[in-house]
Amino acid sequence: MPISKRAKTTKTAIRKFLKGADRTLPGRRKALDALDRAPRPRKVSYAETTLGGIPAIVATPKEVVPERHILYVHGGGYVVGSPKSHIAFGARLAKRAAASVTVIDYRLAPEHVYPAAIDDCVAAYRSLTSEVDPALITIAGDSAGGGAALSTMRALRDAGDELPACAYLLSPWTDLTGSGESVNSKAEADPMIVAGHLVEAGGLYAGDTPLDDPGVSPLFADLGGLPPMLVQTGSDEVLLSDSTRLIERAQAVNVDAQLDLFDGMWHVFQMFPGLPEAKEALVRGATFIRSHTPAQASVRVTSTD
């Protein structure tokens, strides 16, 4: 199925913008956080908070009863990004899923190397479960956040914690060694990622830990016992192989893992709210979340912006 005209235009615009963008680490952090200058979704309350000592922003829809909770781990290669950069996306997902969403501000590399980010995610999840039944919780994340969500669930499983009901992973970065076939074959097709930046970010995050360590690259971890997961990606995605191999390895150990593939789409295309494909992806993600977390029949999911 061909991509929409809006998606084609957006793809070209991304290439032009990134070509002249400040690619230094401070510049990239500033640029990503600037996403919060755009209006946040309406009819949602926003509050700064902490979970287990980790700063966060929580978004709660006003028109639906938020009977479930999404713990969202933002992307950015473990070196950029924050709740500011991802709260608008999280709010759009929350409205469709009839959920509250909390986007956490885990520590970034190179100032804080592995396992700092995972430790923060674990602390935030444990704090959340002191107030919310794990059966009502979805852990979600994009790119590095998707990989961190996997590593977090693995750490929780190994520690004997009760796991969330499900996981929603968008273009997850699961293999920091860069061994996936798509890293090279999709390099020209994906406007969002430069392969060299993956190598750089992976090294900054891992520190002295080998890149193939299961905690750093959850693709190589024991995935047994993890909850159902929906992995959503595009066919023009540099990290496509990270998703397809994750699905294969999860299913091999009897994890209920589904791949939701969008033709012609790029890395974390869901972040672009004007795209028909992005809206459809969020609808599918919200449907998955609702199907795996209990809710009263009276909850009504409204049309959202």
The CA-atom distances, in angstroms, between 42 and each of 69, 92, 300 are 19, 9, 17
Catalytic, 143? Answer yes
Catalytic, 74? Answer no
SS3 of residue 211 by DSSP: coil
Alpha helices in 61-194 (DSSP H): 83-97, 116-129, 144-159, 182-185
Integer Cα distance of 286 and 1 in angstroms: 22
Q: Which of 237, 243, 277, 292 is catalytic?
A: 237
Q: Which of 143, 171, 217, 241 is catalytic?
A: 143
Length of the chain: 305
| Residue 8, φ and ψ in degrees, nearest 5 | -60, -45
User: Is 33 buried (19+), middle (13-18) or exposed (0-12) by CB count in 10 A?
Assistant: middle
| Residue bearing tokens 């990622």 | 193
Q: How many Cβ atoms are within 10 Å of 273's Cβ, its own excluded? A: 14
Q: Which of 74, 86, 267, 292 is catalytic?
A: 267
Chain CA centroid to CA 209, Å: 23
| Residue 108, φ and ψ in degrees, nearest 5 | -100, 155
Catalytic residues: 143, 237, 267
